[in-house]
Amino acid sequence: SGVETGLASGAEADARLMAEAIAVGAGHLGLTASNPSVGCLIVRDDGAGPRIIAAAVTAPGGRPHAETQALAQAGEAARGATAYVTLEPCSHHGHTAPCAEALIRAGIARVVISVVDPDTRVSGRGIAMLREAGISVETGVLEARGERALEAYLTRKRLGRPHVTLKLALSRDGMIGSRALAVGQGQVAITGPESWDHVQHLRVRSDAILVGIGTVVADDPELTVRLPGLEDRSPVRIVLDGNLRLSPDSKLARTAARVPVIAVAGVLSPDDGDVDPHGRQARADALSALGVEVLEWDPRRLDLLLPALASRGLSSLLVEGGARTATSFLDAGMVDRLLLFTGSPTIGAQGIASPVRSGLVPAPFMHTSGEAFGPDHLDIYERTP
């Protein structure tokens, strides 16, 4: 523990406190728009070991930043204390002064940082400002875990597109649905309530959720968060819908005023299967009246669409099917993480085969973990660089 008054020190204490800052920072994932959800602790050690005197996370919408809130909580006690931040404090002027400046003014003695901010307005300048003011700065603490917590933001900044998680629910025989069911009849239940619960939590942490129009026509999904107490955490819902087939009677359209819906409807030719290209404008008007945003981007050009979504501030995208959409993301090399839930039912000959199956996922994906959810098994694969 710390020797100097007010300072928490020691690599072990630093790692433990950074783990806590990362946990705090995760609290607003999916809520901070284009801002990362950063965690900040203010810690004092007055001889009896480190004591957390303030803890904050980036506010919903992205401002105020974590540091300003933590400093406000700590007040005068911040003088001589250590700040643990998951991301380098900013050095640019937003609605308020830079966080680096606020830390200096509050008399913080030491700043421990996990990840250096790739934002070109910051990237090292925050650290330099702190050091110039005589503050002791340490970076890269628990960096792998910090990077993971900020992966969506970091992917958007580094690659100019959202971080993409593709989730598929597979039957025991590797099918993701059945052709045997009539349109609108819903789908066979492949996975159970434990998996459903986990996917709901994934939605909470995502900025956007995306499906193909085939899935919408077949299942009429709502794609909202329905966990008690978290109903207001639904991500933006995006449908790849080249011919604008989304029905104004669909659950998506009917709930669009409450949770945003974007229909990606590039103008496709009749050769692409548009049954009524001339009625398109009327369909667009009907959807717009319900609050659906009709976005004119060719849904087949993910290489253009994803950067467009990123520039709207969407950092994390959860792709939830179906087969065609999954295949197009995989083929475009736009999947960062693959979640394969395998349930116990079998579907058989009428099944729609999944483009990937557990144990048969090709490079560049690597199996990183597996976990049971009731009767189902989740296998996680990550793209290797």
Instruction: Indicate the annotated binding residues for Zn(2+).
Output: 65, 90, 99
In the list 54, 55, 83, 99, the residue contacting Zn ion (rule: CB under 5 A) is 99
Applying CB under 5 A, the span of 93-101, 133-141, 196-204, 257-265 interacting with Zn ion comes to: 93-101
Verify binding: residue 102, Zn ion, rule CB under 5 A.
no
In the list 28, 44, 65, 163, the residue contacting ligand AOF (rule: CB under 6 A) is 65
In the list 119, 219, 336, 376, the residue contacting ligand AOF (rule: CB under 6 A) is 119
Residue 345 preceded by cis peptide, ω within 30: no
- Number of residues engaging ligand AOF in binding (CB under 6 A): 17
Match 């606020």 to its residue by tokens: 102
Applying CB under 6 A, the span of 58-66, 313-321, 332-340, 358-366 interacting with ligand AOF comes to: 58-66
Residues 6+ apart with CB under 8 A from 120: none
Smaller CB separation from ligand AOF, 58 or 255: 58
Verify binding: residue 67, ligand AOF, rule CB under 6 A.
yes
For ligand AOF, the binding residues in 69-88 under the rule CB under 6 A are 87
Verify binding: residue 352, Zn ion, rule CB under 5 A.
no
Verify binding: residue 356, Zn ion, rule CB under 5 A.
no
Q: DSSP letters of 357-372?
A: -TT-PPTTEEEEEEEE
Q: DSSP letters of 87-124?
A: EPPP-S-SSS--HHHHHHHTT--EEEEEE----TTTTT
Annotated binding site for substrate: 203, 223, 226, 320
Residues 6+ apart with CB under 8 A from 73: 42, 53, 54, 55, 56
Question: What is the Cα–Cα distance from 280 to 275, expressed in whole angstroms?
Answer: 10
Verify binding: residue 58, ligand AOF, rule CB under 6 A.
yes
Q: What are phi and psi of 134, to 5 degrees?
A: 85, 10
Residues 6+ apart with CB under 8 A from 382: 336, 337, 338, 365, 366, 368
Residue 116 beta carbon to ligand AOF: minimum distance, rounded to whole angstroms:
10
Verify binding: residue 90, Zn ion, rule CB under 5 A.
yes
Verify binding: residue 113, Zn ion, rule CB under 5 A.
no
Smaller CB separation from Zn ion, 50 or 62: 62
Question: What is the Cα–Cα distance from 13 to 44, expressed in whole angstroms?
Answer: 12
Strand order in the sheet with 365-373: 292-295, 261-264, 236-240, 208-212, 316-319, 163-170, 337-342, 376-383, 365-373
Residue 38 beta carbon to ligand AOF: minimum distance, rounded to whole angstroms:
3
Beta bridge partners of 113: 85
Smaller CB separation from Zn ion, 92 or 145: 92
Overall residue count recorded for the chain in this entry: 385
Smaller CB separation from ligand AOF, 56 or 295: 56
- Binding partner selected for residue 122 from ligand AOF, Zn ion, none, CB under the kind-specific 5 to 8 Å limit: ligand AOF
Amino acid code (one letter) for 363: A
For ligand AOF, the binding residues in 84-113 under the rule CB under 6 A are 87, 89-90, 94, 99
The torsion angle over the Cα atoms of residues 357, 361, 365 and 367, rounded to 10 degrees, is: 70
Count of CB atoms within 10 A of residue 264's CB?
A: 26
In the list 10, 15, 53, 63, the residue contacting ligand AOF (rule: CB under 6 A) is 63
Residue 133 beta carbon to ligand AOF: minimum distance, rounded to whole angstroms:
15
Verify binding: residue 36, ligand AOF, rule CB under 6 A.
yes
Verify binding: residue 35, ligand AOF, rule CB under 6 A.
yes
The set of catalytic residues is: 67
- Binding partner selected for residue 202 from Zn ion, ligand AOF, none, CB under the kind-specific 5 to 8 Å limit: none
Strands 337-342 and 376-383: antiparallel
Verify binding: residue 310, ligand AOF, rule CB under 6 A.
no
Which residues of the chain form contacts with ligand AOF (CB under 6 A)?
A: 35-36, 38, 58, 62-63, 65-67, 87, 89-90, 94, 99, 117, 119, 122
Which residues of the chain form contacts with Zn ion (CB under 5 A)?
A: 65, 90, 99
